[in-house]
Structure 1
């Protein structure tokens, strides 16, 4: 057994008694059905190694982690003109807050809060029907993970669409300021479907490798994005990837990361590895409670924090 595999298994062992802690995102009815007593870790290294433990092969709803992939796609389409639509600052507010959006005249603070991701979905829709835009996002996730089995959980998408009143309000508010180019129902259709992507920790860690390798897929040798763009995406993940808990995550873990209310977190150790953790119970910020604790231990024991060991 490799030293890294032993380390990953040690983190799992040390947190095993905490599995099930936190509160499931029961405001999305389909997510409320998920067994909270699950916990997986996957670490994908640049040399092609995979180090997994627990429920790392179980698919779950990645929710807002998908915003990393849609941001990458949108930057590929629009380049830096994207930043005329959405900001690059931490929000300091809840992920679905409407107060800040009103104060800032419909321009979202960053692409990872709900309003920002809705603006990104609007940009991806340009020249496409919603079904085509959704297909492009799924295809991109499959390409990054090297796995054509990745798909949308349509029950989760339906559940989110039927109960997402706050997102409907955010999108209509943005449209009232002229911030959306397409019909609200089309934009939200793209948004809820990409949030309903289902992936395992192993697939997610593989998909994030391009951000750990300066924009390259280190296993296939393909360039996904430029080195500068990968750096910028990582910086946004560090500042904004955990909503109003982003500062605390940076303080404790010290890695760029993006969480989702399905209980997953994708974290990047630049030049070293891509890490995915999953445990459905959330803390007060809407981030996986056990997953964040696992990343804190992992960053400490590997010395991978970008701020030094």
Structure 2
């Protein structure tokens, strides 16, 4: 099986190299603007521990909103289901940085994967900490999940985010006006910007996602979350992980997944595989153009999908 998956990955990498439509890199974050869209990497880690790599699978990139999966896991560990009093669990139907629903819904973001929801999660994770401590805690958690102590925050990207993140600051201020942000906006957004600037490779990211493949277990150390919580995080990834394109991603690919504007996608096939792809060019919805296509090809080649009896 491992050899078969490696063959599939090799075929996908070769096909992606021939693609002329590669999307556009995110330019509104200056630190991402100069990343070449020529990059493509893929890592597939099986439930049996097998690893299939292709392309730029070991080159670090800015994971951006994929970090929201790990921050959410940590926040749920701190406050449990009380979190859902402050953030919803429904798809937004709007862009990831939209402010339009917050007024009608009294400062409660639709879900933890849009920017407003992730800022509330950052506020939860900041409780009892200074920002540096909160970020350190998240980095240590991700290193634990990936079993890799080399994972770091890209300070240049973090500065870039801080200098240009006016819309995210506006979202935080708006929610603070409704009482849904408890700490100062500067401290909360500082945590959020640094969280998004975490740098990881596809291999590291796929390793970090294994607990969502294995009912909450991390292979080297044991239980991270309950099977029930892992299932619920996967459900949120499926319904909300690609913003206003989440339905299309579920339709085409059928895997829980979380994208980031750095061009990465973490996808999970429960009981089968933890998968990471990276290509910096984005489609119109802000998701990786080639990453989405590669995952669709993987789903077709393997039959992996939460909607398929073959999964």
TM range, smaller chain: over 0.9
What are the equivalent positions in structure 2 for 1:8-47 lying under 5 Å apart? 8-18=9-19, 21-47=22-48
Q: Is this contact kept in 2: 1:145–1:204, CA < 8 A?
A: yes
What are the equivalent positions in structure 2 for 1:158-197 lying under 5 Å apart? 158-197=159-198
C-alpha root-mean-square deviation of aligned residues, in Å?
1.0
Provide the secondary structure at the position in 1 that maps to 2:223.
coil
Partner of 1:124: 125
Partner of 1:288: 288
Alignment gaps of 5+ in structure 1: none
What are the equivalent positions in structure 2 for 1:92-111 lying under 5 Å apart? 92-111=93-112
TM superposition score normalised by structure 2: 0.98
Q: Is this contact kept in 2: 1:244–1:285, CA < 8 A?
A: yes
Deviation at 1:19, TM superposition (A): 6.3
- How many residues get paired? 308
What are the equivalent positions in structure 2 for 1:251-270 lying under 5 Å apart? 251-270=251-270
Q: 1:114-151 CA deviation, whole Å, 9 max, x = no partner?
A: 00000000000111111100100010110011100000
Deviation at 1:221, TM superposition (A): 4.7
Provide the secondary structure at the position in 1 that maps to 2:276.
strand
Q: Is this contact kept in 2: 1:19–1:290, CA < 8 A?
A: no
Deviation at 1:49, TM superposition (A): 1.1
Alignment gaps of 5+ in structure 2: none
Provide the secondary structure at the position in 2 that maps to 1:246.
helix
Partner of 2:113: 112
Deviation at 1:12, TM superposition (A): 1.4
Provide the secondary structure at the position in 2 that maps to 1:53.
strand
TM superposition score normalised by structure 1: 0.98
Q: 1:159-188 CA deviation, whole Å, 9 max, x = no partner?
A: 011001100100000000000110000000
Which 4+ residue blocks in structure 1 deviate beyond 2 angstroms? none
Distance 2:196 2:51 in 1: 25
Partner of 1:139: 140
Quick check: 1:240 aligned with 2:240?
yes
Deviation at 1:20, TM superposition (A): 6.6
